Amino acid sequence: MKTIQPVLIWVNGKTDSATLFNLSCIRDNMYNSAIFCFQLYNAENKSISIGELTMIEPDYTTEWTTNNAAYLWAATQLGLTITGEYNPA
C-alpha cells in the first residue's frame, strides 16, 4: 500500500479525502494484458473508492517490470501522486 497526496472523493453525499492507495493484480494472461483492482482509503483506513484498471500492450511489456512500476502506472492512470510507502503505526 502507498501513501498519496490527498484526493477528494464524493462518498454517499459528502466528500472524503483519500490518502492511501492499494493495488492488486486480479488477472494476468501472462502475455499482453493484466487487470488490477485499486482501492483508495481515507486517513482512518476506510475504503472510500474501488475500481479496476486494465493494462494492455505496450504498457504491459514496458511498464510492468516491478510491483512499484505497476503502482506508478496505475497512479498515473488515476491522476494520483504517490508520496511513499504506507507504514501502519
pLDDT in tens, the chain (89 residues): 999 999 999 998 999 999 999 999 999 999 999 999 999 999 999 999 999 999 999 999 888 889 999 999 999 999 999 999 999 87
Q: CA–CA separation, 46 vs 31, rounded Å?
A: 34
Q: Show the cell assigned to 43.
A: 486517513
Of the CA atoms within 13 Å of residue 81, those in its CB half-sphere come to 5
DSSP, res 31: S
DSSP collapsed to 3 states, 59-77: HHHHCCCCHHHHHHHHHHH
